[in-house]
Structure formats: structure tokens, C-alpha cells
Structure 1
Amino acid sequence: MTTMPRYLLSVFGPAARTDYGPYPSKEDMLQAFADTGAFNDRLQREGYFVFADGLEPATTATTVDGQGESPVLTDGPYLETKEHIGGFWVIEAPDLDVALALAADGSKACRGVIEVRPFQTAESVAALLDS
């Protein structure tokens, strides 16, 4: 059985937040949640959905560097940026064009910019090793 390629759709939003996260008002937040819920339902209904979730603000992150003898833990995100990942979807789609079209619909629903990245496959790793 062949599986479809998987893609990570990462939702980015401003690091600066209001009382309603990245949304300007409670009404905007509730509408975005409703629209995102409808988009999630569509992904499930059409067979693209693997997993999705929202994240707490980047200020709640802990960065872990375990490359040395003892792990180094640092409060906060790894990168200091004006935008952070706020949530994500993992989807299965037949190709990048479908994933990009779904990302455009997801962006509209959640009111955030979405980065689309394919997951590594055995074929993509083998191509790296052969080059």
C-alpha cells in the first residue's frame, strides 16, 4: 500500500500578543476558531488530516541543547524573532500543489501565514546520500 506524502503546515503569527492571542478582539478570535474548526472538519472529511494542534505562546518554550556532556536548558524560544509558530497541521496530500491549496484555505481560516514543508521520505534521504 502506497501512502501519500506528508506535509507540515506551520502557522506563524506575531510574537506580540493581545489579550486574545494574535487576534485583535474576542470576536475575531472566536470567528477564527470557528473557521479553523470547519477547515479541520473538511480536512478530515476529505482524507487529508493526520494531526493538528495549537501551541501556547513562545514565551512558554524551553530550549534544550543535549549535545554536550550535560543538557543545557534555556527558558524561551530558540530564536528571537518577531513571529513564532502558533500551531500546525500534519496532512497527507497527493502532491505539493494540493498541499499549497489546502494551506491557502487554512491560512484564510486561521488568519495566519502558513509555511508548507514536506516530510523527509526514504527516497529523499537516498537522493541526498547519492549526491
Structure 2
Amino acid sequence: KAANLVCEEFKKPLVKTSEGMGLAAWLASDDVGASSKYMASVLSGQFSAPHHYPWDGADLGRCIRLLEAVPELASQLHEMKACSPQWSAVIDNWVKWKELYDAGEDTKLYQEMKLTYKSLRGLP
């Protein structure tokens, strides 16, 4: 029975993020990660989620697509800076990191994110 349930779940179509789909539809999509869900919780104030920040380009991409799905949250993006030093770094680097993400520069983006987070810990 369990195997059949798993198989049925895999038969369902993937629900991608679409522009302007709104918060509820985005939350029900298959494009929600821990950091983007936390970002949505902070910016919308409509629910709570555990603190996470984007670790790599895939995580950052989900955050970027959240703002495409719920564009009214974009004007509040600066509020994420108060959440943690990591989120402050994300917002400070948002434009540059988004450009790298959009250009498909995954390796460079990952390296920049890791160096930035490492510098927050005061490591050489």
C-alpha cells in the first residue's frame, strides 16, 4: 500500500512557480524550500517558519522565484536584513547574486555565497 501511495505521488504533475501566482498558490507549489519559506513568513507575516537562509544557488533561486510569484513582497525585501547576519549578507549581495543566478553562473555564485558566509564567521 505504501509503495502504491509513493507511486501515485510521483505521477502527479510538478507544480512550478508562475509569475504573480500569489502566496497561497506558491506555498502549495513544488518550488518551496526552507529559506524561501522563511523569507515568505517574514515578509508576509501570515505564518511562521523556522529560520533558514539560502546556502547555494538553488536555494537562492527559490527565493528569487518567490518574489516573482508574490511581487508585492519585493518592496519589503530589505526587512530580511534584520533576521540574521547571513540574511543581511544575502540582501547586500542580492543584485549581484541574482545576476549570477540568472546568467547560470552556478559555480561562481556558490563560491561567492560561501566566501561571504565564511567571512561572517571571522575565518581567514
Q: What is the TM-score when the length of structure 1 is the normalising length?
A: 0.26
Structure ranking higher on relative contact order (CA contacts 8 Å, 6+ apart): 1
Q: Which has the higher helix share?
A: 2
